[in-house]
Amino acid sequence: MRWLWVAALALVAWPVHALADDLLIADLQWLAIDANDATPLLFEPGDPVNPHAPASDEFWYFELGRLAFRSPALLGGLGGRHGLSCNSCHSSGGVNSHFFVDGLSDFPGTFDTTNALFSTHTDDGVFNPKPIPPLFGVAETAPYPADGRFATLEQIVDHVVLKEFDGLTPPVTVHRALLHYLKTIEPPDNAQDTPLTAEFALNDLRRLTKVLSWSTLTQNPETVVFTVNAIRRQLEAVHNRFSGVKPVQAELSAWSLELRTVRRLIDAEDRPGARAAAEAVLQRMETRAADIIPWQRKSLYDPTELATYLESRTASEAR
């Protein structure tokens, strides 16, 4: 039976090598970059503008859809666990032209959606990467994807979430919001890249937490829990970029615990309490941001610190 054991080992060993667990920046697992040019880790394409009247239902659906699109909480399997999201490939609704996974991409910006690494459903046993398409105006371009297997946007999105990335069925509202987001996004007028600074990251956490606050009073508990989980994972990513900066990490951990309280209150069906707790985190995020931002120079949002980190990674891989 020895050959069977060897075959089983070969099957599990490959995926383990393809992604790494010990990285402070999850995106490094799927970016083709070198230590001399960390630009893709310091910028992202300009974010589509929310076109709806602030505080309208459609405004919040867009915000919730954006949160889901950017969160690994939507995906399951290896991808979800390692921090992959729709946004990792379709960055800001466009194309991440640096996306590259060994064995699943032939050129940067391509990906084999029928693989065994991220999916227990769609493997076709063939190395057949496809270009990542931009998603602007995607509601008008049925059928999907390039080979037209799916008649509707809803069908392909469900296929991507549930089959290609082994996700669980998202809460109904999150599903609806994601489709709303995909149907609405347009490339921003000033196609400028957004610098990924600590300030940007903290602003984005506040933006996500506003969605949470809205959801506590208006949405079903599953949606609130999904939102809390998505924000906590985003917080973890920011926490990692502040590796070694103890005061900042302590503060971010406190936010994460407060978010857990929101979840506990929703589980106990205390909506007003959950709302108050969400507003309290938001308030804390607003007042503490100014203390955190100066620490950026010690973090992996700083180009020099980042270059040093990338060099140390390259050196340890070469050893």
Using CB under 6 A, which residues numbered 66 to 95 contact ligand HEC? 74, 84, 86, 88-90
* Residues forming beta bridges with residue 290, ordered by sequence position: none
Asked whether position 138 contacts ligand HEC by CB under 6 A, the answer is: yes
* 54 or 148: CB nearest ligand HEC: 148
Instruction: Indicate which single residue of 18, 26, 132, 208 sits in contact with ligand HEC (rule: CB under 6 A).
Output: 132
- How many whole angstroms separate alpha carbon 112 and alpha carbon 101? 9
Give, in degrees to the nearest 5, the angle at Cα 244 between 318 and 313: 10
Contacts of 137 (CB under 8 A, 6+ apart): 186
With CA atoms as reference, report the closest residue to 248 among 195, 210, 302, 209: 302
**Rounded least distance, CB 41 to ligand HEC, Å:** 17
Residue 140's Cβ-side half-sphere holds a number of Cα atoms within 13 Å equal to: 6
The tokens describing 220, both together, are 């079903």
Q: In the stretch 158-187, what mask flags binding to ligand HEC with x, by CB under 6 A?
A: --xx--------------------------
* 58 or 154: CB nearest ligand HEC: 154
Strands 194-195 and 43-44: antiparallel
Instruction: Indicate which single residue of 78, 157, 202, 278 sits in contact with ligand HEC (rule: CB under 6 A).
Output: 157
Q: Please identify, among the stretches 39-47, 153-161, 250-258, 304-312, the one whose residues bind ligand HEC according to the rule CB under 6 A.
A: 153-161
The tokens describing 184, both together, are 């609405």
Asked whether position 60 contacts ligand HEC by CB under 6 A, the answer is: no
Neighbours of 85 (CB within 10 A): 23
**DSSP assigned state of 102:** T
* 31 or 277: CB nearest ligand HEC: 31
* 229 or 256: CB nearest ligand HEC: 229
List contacts with ligand HEC (CB under 6 A): 74, 84, 86, 88-90, 111, 113, 130, 132-133, 135, 138, 141, 144-146, 156-157, 160-161
